[in-house]
């Protein structure tokens, strides 16, 4: 579904991505790990169109996507969340979900807000989907709470919900469990599993916790200093000498 070939990206003299090639199959959960500064977020930024690559090719569902702007890539069904989620804090959880969908339909989100009371057919469909997703994410009881009042972990669940409103084929998640308390980490993992089962979406996840990786990923890629140093199942990766060494000696 996603194929990255010989990707290169430098910042000045720093090679953040050095000849990286990898694949994410349809209907799978793939992990991306590596020490701090190894190029993981840069890879997501290039794939999602936020940074320009220096060299290499990126294909999504068979089409070349490198060079396309972020909104075009998202429209093709490849969506992302950010390391720091930024849901509008003064809107409720449910409003945030609906706003995500409206945004996708190319409407001006601000005019949409002023027309809150205007109910359209697409809005009924969106409302139904929003409530189903909030149920899956165990956020339904919080639907009328302000996003700004949620805990860090609940905000991450909400950002997952917001991106799912767009019905993406593949979701890039950058450290979804960072700063999330252990109870919510379990909730987040379960939510990702349920979303995958319900809707057959693919996930590509940057994650520090090997426990999280082992419990959800079919396959893992490892970056170190911008280079791919290993790939395999979570079990294989945990026993890989080069990987262990990178983590011991790395940043
Ligand atoms: N916009 C940028 N400008 C300059 N250097 C950057 C930029 N983004 C990332 N880098 C550098 O590229 C390297 C990889 O960063 P990053 O992809 O954020 O690593 P990771 O997500 O694996 O921790 C780091 O050395 C970082 O300082
Ligand atoms: Mg990062």
Q: b/e string for 159-196 if b means 16 or more Cβ within 10 A? A: bbbbbbbbebbbbbbbbbbeebeeebbebbbebbeebb
In this predicted model, what pLDDT tens digit does every residue of 211-230 receive, in sequence order? Answer: 899 999 999 999 999 999 99
Which atom of ligand 1 is found nearest the CA of 39? 17
Choose which residue among 11, 51, 173 to substitute to test ligand 1 binding: the one with the highest number of ligand atoms within 8 A of its C-beta. Answer: 11
Choose which residue among 8, 9, 16, 54 to substitute to test ligand 1 binding: the one with the highest number of ligand atoms within 8 A of its C-beta. Answer: 16
Which atom of ligand 1 is found nearest the CA of 51? 1
Whether pLDDT at 78 is above 60: yes
Whether pLDDT at 104 is above 90: no
Q: Which residue has the higher pLDDT, 99 or 22?
A: 22
Which atom of ligand 1 is found nearest the CA of 45? 17
Ligand 1 centroid, distance to 131 Cα (angstroms): 37
Domains and CATH numbers, the chain: 1-77+169-251 (3.40.50.300), 87-167 (no CATH)
Whether pLDDT at 114 is above 60: no
Ligand 1 pocket, 224 CB below 6 A? no
Ligand 1 pocket, 251 CB below 6 A? no
Ligand 1 pocket, 40 CB below 6 A? yes
> Ligand nearest 174 Cα, by number?
2
In this predicted model, what pLDDT tens digit does every residue of 42-61 receive, in sequence order? Answer: 999 999 999 999 999 999 99
Which atom of ligand 1 is found nearest the CA of 174? 21
Ligand 1 centroid, distance to 225 Cα (angstroms): 10
Q: What percent of the chain has pLDDT over 90?
A: 59
Ligand 1 pocket, 88 CB below 6 A? no
Whether pLDDT at 250 is above 60: no
Whether pLDDT at 3 is above 70: yes
Q: What percent of the chain has pLDDT over 70?
A: 88
Q: If you take atom 2 of ligand 1, which residue's CA is the nearest one?
A: 11
Which atom of ligand 1 is found nearest the CA of 43? 17
Whether pLDDT at 107 is above 60: no
């Amino acid at each position: 579904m996603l194929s990255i070939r010989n990707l290169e990206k430098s910042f000045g003299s720093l090679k953040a991505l050095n000849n990286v090639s990898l694949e994410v199959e349809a209907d799978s959960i793939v992990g991306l790990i590596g020490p701090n500064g190894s190029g993981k977020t840069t890879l997501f930024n290039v794939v999602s169109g936020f940074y320009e690559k220096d060299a290499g090719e990126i294909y999504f569902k068979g089409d070349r996507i490198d060079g396309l702007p972020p909104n075009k890539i998202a429209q093709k069904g490849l969506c992302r969340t950010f390391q720091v989620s930024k849901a509008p804090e003064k809107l409720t959880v449910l409003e945030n979900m609906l706003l995500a969908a409206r945004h996708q339909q190319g409407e001006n989100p601000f005019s949409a807000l002023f027309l809150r009371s205007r109910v359209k057919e697409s809005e009924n469909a969106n409302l139904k989907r929003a409530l189903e997703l909030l149920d899956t994410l165990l956020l339904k009881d919080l639907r009328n709470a302000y996003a700004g009042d949620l805990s860090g972990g609940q905000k991450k669940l909400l950002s997952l919900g917001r991106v799912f409103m767009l019905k993406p084929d593949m979701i890039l998640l950058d450290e979804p469990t960072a700063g999330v308390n252990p109870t919510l980490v379990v909730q987040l993992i379960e939510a990702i599993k349920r979303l995958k089962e319900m809707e057959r979406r693919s996930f590509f996840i940057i994650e520090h916790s090997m426990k999280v990786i082992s419990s959800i990923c079919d396959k893992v890629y490892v970056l170190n200093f911008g280079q791919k140093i290993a790939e395999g199942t979570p079990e294989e990766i945990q026993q890989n000498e080069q990987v262990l060494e990178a983590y011991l000696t790395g940043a």
